[in-house]
Amino acid sequence: MCFDLLLSIPHSKIATLANILKYSIFTVPSAAPATTAGHVINSTSVLLLWEPLPEDKQNGDIIYYTLVLSGNENHDYLISYNFTINSTLIELSTLKPFSEYNVSIAANTVIGMGPFTAPYTFYTPEDGMV
């Protein structure tokens, strides 16, 4: 019966149906966001930017990004942020002056989290040195 239904659909509509089915099967993103960059605002704040995932790597709607920030050479603290898709940038504030930080970002669909970016390292300057 299902086969008979397919035979009754015009060929041009089958391609459209295939595209609909391809995007209706959601999973986790298959890639990490690209081009993470940082801009030092002052000794305690940094603006982080990244590229959104290409549509073919999203595997569903991106509902938020997860950011993991670790600080100092010993990675003595770890902070995780979740934030919405409306932005591919975030200002991190209340950082420690004259410190090293590593950040990784992952995209999330309703199914779960995709892979993290390679760690991006940035340094906050000493107070008054920006």
Given a cut of 50, whether residue 6 has pLDDT beyond it is: no
What percent of the chain stands above pLDDT 70?
Answer: 72
* Domains assigned to the chain: 27-123 (2.60.40.10)
Strand 34-42 versus strand 45-51 pairing type: antiparallel
Whole-angstrom CA distances from 58 to 18, 37, 79, 109 are 18, 21, 25, 8
pLDDT digits (tens, 9 = 90+) for 52-95: 899 999 999 999 898 888 886 665 667 777 776 678 889 998 89
3-state secondary structure of 44: coil
